[in-house]
Amino acid sequence: MSLGSILLYGLLGVVVAISGIGLITSRNAIYGALFLVLNFITVALLYIALGAPFIALAQVTVYAGSIMVLFLFVIMLLGAEQLPIAEPIRGQRILAILLFVAFLAEMALFVMLRGSPVVAGAPITPDFSTPATMGTLLFEQYLLPFEMTAGVLLAATVGAVFLTRSPRPERKSALPEAQQAGKESS
């Protein structure tokens, strides 16, 4: 493997790490969202390097595009860029660090105790993951999950609209009574 590709992968890994750290340390939620966009785009580059161009473009359009726009919209709508610094739950930080260390230990154990390392097969050909092959697999073998996903998206949309609607000002039921009262008085 050439030095250039090692440098490229190393750079991508460093950008992923830095943008992740930036997300969890940024005081301002807007900066956090922008760091996350950077992270998504870098991971999309990794997808392209892994021979998955369709997933990479879906990542950019769906994640870095629409989902993050939704996030930025809600952050600005609520004015939640900076929450006042309040006293955290007692011992929360210590507990969080403990759980984090426990997770890292588990992962280190997994990596060490894993059996034989994954051996890469032949390098993938360019026609391995074209949108055409993805679509064929999606609509032949995974048609039912695809339809269920459509149902989930519809339910989520309806649920989001239902959750954020403002309470009705009760005018429709009050209006006829007022008209009737007006007629009676006249």
For residue 20, the minimal CB distance to another protein (Å) is 4
Between 142 and 181, CB nearer to another protein:
142
The three state secondary structure string of 114-161 is CCCCCCCCCCCCCCCCCHHHHHHHHHHCCHHHHHHHHHHHHHHHHHHH
For residue 170, the minimal CB distance to another protein (Å) is 18
Alpha-carbon dihedral angle through residues 43, 107, 119, 17, given to the nearest 10 degrees:
20
Between 79 and 176, CB nearer to another protein:
79
CA atoms within 13 A on the CB side of 134: 12
Between 115 and 176, CB nearer to another protein:
115
For residue 174, the minimal CB distance to another protein (Å) is 23
